[in-house]
Amino acid sequence: MNILRLAPLAAVALVACHAAPQEAPPLAGARISGPFTLVDQDGRTVSDRDFAGKYRIMYFGYTFCPDVCPTDAAAIGKAVAELDGSDADLARRIVPIFVTVDPERDTPKVLKSFTAAFHPRMVGLTGTPAQIAAVSKAYGVYAGKGETQPGGGYLVNHSRTTYLMDLDGKPLALLPTEQGPHAVAAEIKRWAK
Protein backbone atom coordinates (compact mmCIF):
# COMPACT_ATOMS: atom_id res chain seq x y z
CA MET A 1 0.00 0.00 0.00
CA ASN A 2 1.27 3.45 -0.89
CA ILE A 3 2.34 5.41 2.20
CA LEU A 4 1.40 8.72 0.54
CA ARG A 5 -2.24 7.60 0.35
CA LEU A 6 -2.24 6.90 4.11
CA ALA A 7 -0.78 10.28 5.10
CA PRO A 8 -4.08 12.25 4.77
CA LEU A 9 -5.92 9.56 6.77
CA ALA A 10 -3.29 9.69 9.51
CA ALA A 11 -3.57 13.50 9.66
CA VAL A 12 -7.36 13.26 10.06
CA ALA A 13 -6.95 10.65 12.79
CA LEU A 14 -4.47 12.86 14.67
CA VAL A 15 -6.76 15.88 14.46
CA ALA A 16 -9.67 13.80 15.76
CA CYS A 17 -7.59 12.71 18.77
CA HIS A 18 -6.89 16.26 19.85
CA ALA A 19 -10.03 17.97 21.12
CA ALA A 20 -10.23 21.72 20.86
CA PRO A 21 -9.23 23.45 24.10
CA GLN A 22 -12.19 24.16 26.33
CA GLU A 23 -13.18 27.79 26.59
CA ALA A 24 -12.46 29.33 29.99
CA PRO A 25 -15.46 30.65 31.92
CA PRO A 26 -15.76 34.45 31.54
CA LEU A 27 -15.27 35.14 35.26
CA ALA A 28 -12.47 32.62 35.82
CA GLY A 29 -9.90 34.19 38.12
CA ALA A 30 -12.08 37.17 39.06
CA ARG A 31 -11.89 38.29 42.67
CA ILE A 32 -15.56 37.83 43.36
CA SER A 33 -16.83 35.94 46.42
CA GLY A 34 -15.51 35.22 49.85
CA PRO A 35 -16.42 33.61 53.13
CA PHE A 36 -19.64 34.64 54.81
CA THR A 37 -21.83 33.70 57.74
CA LEU A 38 -25.50 34.71 57.45
CA VAL A 39 -28.96 33.55 58.52
CA ASP A 40 -31.22 31.59 56.17
CA GLN A 41 -34.97 31.80 55.70
CA ASP A 42 -35.48 29.21 58.43
CA GLY A 43 -33.49 31.19 61.00
CA ARG A 44 -30.43 28.91 60.84
CA THR A 45 -26.90 30.29 60.75
CA VAL A 46 -25.22 29.21 57.51
CA SER A 47 -21.87 29.92 55.94
CA ASP A 48 -20.45 29.72 52.45
CA ARG A 49 -19.03 26.30 53.44
CA ASP A 50 -22.59 24.93 53.73
CA PHE A 51 -22.86 25.26 49.95
CA ALA A 52 -19.54 23.57 49.10
CA GLY A 53 -19.88 21.00 46.33
CA LYS A 54 -22.85 22.85 44.78
CA TYR A 55 -23.08 25.32 41.97
CA ARG A 56 -24.49 28.52 43.41
CA ILE A 57 -26.59 31.14 41.73
CA MET A 58 -25.86 34.27 43.78
CA TYR A 59 -28.35 37.11 43.49
CA PHE A 60 -28.45 40.23 45.65
CA GLY A 61 -31.75 42.07 45.99
CA TYR A 62 -34.57 42.78 48.40
CA THR A 63 -38.10 41.54 48.87
CA PHE A 64 -39.75 44.98 48.91
CA CYS A 65 -38.34 45.73 45.44
CA PRO A 66 -41.26 46.79 43.24
CA ASP A 67 -40.11 45.25 39.97
CA VAL A 68 -36.56 44.10 39.16
CA CYS A 69 -35.85 41.70 42.05
CA PRO A 70 -39.08 39.68 41.71
CA THR A 71 -38.59 39.51 37.95
CA ASP A 72 -35.01 38.28 38.31
CA ALA A 73 -35.93 35.82 41.09
CA ALA A 74 -38.67 34.45 38.84
CA ALA A 75 -36.20 33.99 35.97
CA ILE A 76 -33.80 32.18 38.29
CA GLY A 77 -36.53 29.97 39.76
CA LYS A 78 -37.96 29.09 36.34
CA ALA A 79 -34.48 28.35 34.98
CA VAL A 80 -33.81 25.92 37.82
CA ALA A 81 -37.25 24.36 37.28
CA GLU A 82 -36.42 23.99 33.58
CA LEU A 83 -33.19 22.20 34.54
CA ASP A 84 -35.18 20.03 36.99
CA GLY A 85 -37.06 18.75 33.94
CA SER A 86 -34.25 18.57 31.39
CA ASP A 87 -31.15 17.71 33.43
CA ALA A 88 -32.16 16.59 36.92
CA ASP A 89 -28.62 15.54 37.85
CA LEU A 90 -27.28 19.03 37.17
CA ALA A 91 -30.30 20.69 38.78
CA ARG A 92 -29.71 18.79 42.04
CA ARG A 93 -26.23 20.30 42.21
CA ILE A 94 -27.49 23.90 41.92
CA VAL A 95 -28.53 26.13 44.81
CA PRO A 96 -30.22 29.42 43.95
CA ILE A 97 -29.35 31.93 46.69
CA PHE A 98 -31.10 35.27 47.24
CA VAL A 99 -29.03 37.55 49.50
CA THR A 100 -30.91 40.56 50.80
CA VAL A 101 -29.43 44.05 50.57
CA ASP A 102 -32.18 45.25 52.95
CA PRO A 103 -31.56 43.38 56.22
CA GLU A 104 -33.67 45.85 58.20
CA ARG A 105 -36.89 44.61 56.58
CA ASP A 106 -35.90 41.23 55.15
CA THR A 107 -36.19 39.00 58.18
CA PRO A 108 -35.97 35.22 57.81
CA LYS A 109 -39.78 35.01 57.84
CA VAL A 110 -40.10 37.59 55.05
CA LEU A 111 -37.39 35.84 53.02
CA LYS A 112 -39.06 32.45 53.48
CA SER A 113 -42.31 33.70 51.97
CA PHE A 114 -40.47 35.46 49.13
CA THR A 115 -38.13 32.64 48.09
CA ALA A 116 -40.86 29.97 48.33
CA ALA A 117 -42.76 31.85 45.64
CA PHE A 118 -39.98 31.25 43.10
CA HIS A 119 -38.46 27.81 43.72
CA PRO A 120 -38.63 25.34 46.62
CA ARG A 121 -34.81 25.10 46.79
CA MET A 122 -34.19 28.85 46.68
CA VAL A 123 -32.33 29.93 49.81
CA GLY A 124 -32.86 33.39 51.28
CA LEU A 125 -30.02 34.91 53.32
CA THR A 126 -29.99 37.88 55.66
CA GLY A 127 -27.83 39.14 58.49
CA THR A 128 -26.77 42.25 60.30
CA PRO A 129 -26.17 45.38 58.22
CA ALA A 130 -22.42 44.85 58.73
CA GLN A 131 -22.60 41.22 57.55
CA ILE A 132 -24.62 42.18 54.48
CA ALA A 133 -22.23 45.05 53.69
CA ALA A 134 -19.27 42.64 53.92
CA VAL A 135 -20.77 39.97 51.66
CA SER A 136 -21.97 42.63 49.19
CA LYS A 137 -18.45 44.05 49.02
CA ALA A 138 -16.94 40.58 48.51
CA TYR A 139 -19.26 40.04 45.54
CA GLY A 140 -18.78 43.52 44.10
CA VAL A 141 -22.40 44.49 44.75
CA TYR A 142 -23.42 48.09 45.33
CA ALA A 143 -26.40 48.76 47.61
CA GLY A 144 -27.64 51.92 49.31
CA LYS A 145 -30.89 53.00 50.90
CA GLY A 146 -32.82 55.47 48.77
CA GLU A 147 -35.00 58.36 49.86
CA THR A 148 -37.95 57.73 52.13
CA GLN A 149 -41.17 57.43 50.14
CA PRO A 150 -44.60 58.78 51.11
CA GLY A 151 -45.95 56.48 53.80
CA GLY A 152 -42.50 55.87 55.30
CA GLY A 153 -41.21 53.15 52.99
CA TYR A 154 -38.01 53.32 50.99
CA LEU A 155 -36.37 51.78 47.98
CA VAL A 156 -32.88 50.31 47.94
CA ASN A 157 -30.65 51.20 45.03
CA HIS A 158 -28.47 48.23 44.13
CA SER A 159 -26.54 46.65 41.31
CA ARG A 160 -28.29 44.01 39.27
CA THR A 161 -25.93 41.07 38.94
CA THR A 162 -26.55 37.33 39.01
CA TYR A 163 -23.45 35.18 39.45
CA LEU A 164 -22.98 31.50 38.70
CA MET A 165 -20.38 30.15 41.12
CA ASP A 166 -18.57 26.83 40.79
CA LEU A 167 -18.48 23.92 43.23
CA ASP A 168 -15.76 25.67 45.25
CA GLY A 169 -17.56 29.03 45.33
CA LYS A 170 -15.43 30.64 42.62
CA PRO A 171 -17.10 32.74 39.91
CA LEU A 172 -17.86 31.19 36.53
CA ALA A 173 -20.19 33.56 34.68
CA LEU A 174 -22.86 36.20 34.87
CA LEU A 175 -26.37 34.86 34.29
CA PRO A 176 -28.60 36.88 31.93
CA THR A 177 -31.73 37.13 34.09
CA GLU A 178 -32.94 40.07 32.00
CA GLN A 179 -33.20 37.67 29.04
CA GLY A 180 -35.50 35.24 30.86
CA PRO A 181 -35.32 31.71 32.25
CA HIS A 182 -34.33 29.90 29.03
CA ALA A 183 -31.26 32.11 28.63
CA VAL A 184 -30.34 31.58 32.29
CA ALA A 185 -30.72 27.78 31.99
CA ALA A 186 -28.63 27.75 28.79
CA GLU A 187 -25.83 29.71 30.43
CA ILE A 188 -25.85 27.40 33.46
CA LYS A 189 -25.59 24.35 31.16
CA ARG A 190 -22.73 26.00 29.31
CA TRP A 191 -20.53 26.37 32.41
CA ALA A 192 -21.76 23.90 35.03
CA LYS A 193 -20.52 20.40 34.20
Q: Tell me whether residue 158 is annotated as binding.
A: yes
pLDDT at 10: 44
Paired with 100 in beta bridges are: 61
Alpha-carbon dihedral 76, 77, 78, 80, rounded to 10 degrees: 80
Residue in 151, 63, 164 with CA at minimum distance from that of residue 110: 63
Q: In degrees rounded to 5, what are phi and psi of residue 29?
A: 85, -5
Domains in the chain (CATH in brackets) are 38-191 (3.40.30.10)
Residue in 106, 155, 172, 161 with CA at minimum distance from that of residue 136: 161
Tell me the average confidence (pLDDT) per consecutive run of 10 residues in the chain, 193 residues long: 47 46 87 97 98 98 96 98 97 98 97 98 98 97 89 91 97 98 98 92
pLDDT at 52: 97
Q: Tell me whether residue 69 is annotated as binding.
A: yes
What's the rounded Cα separation, in Å, for the pair 41 and 69?
Answer: 17
pLDDT at 152: 80
What's the rounded Cα separation, in Å, for the pair 44 and 75?
Answer: 26
Q: Tell me whether residue 17 is annotated as binding.
A: no
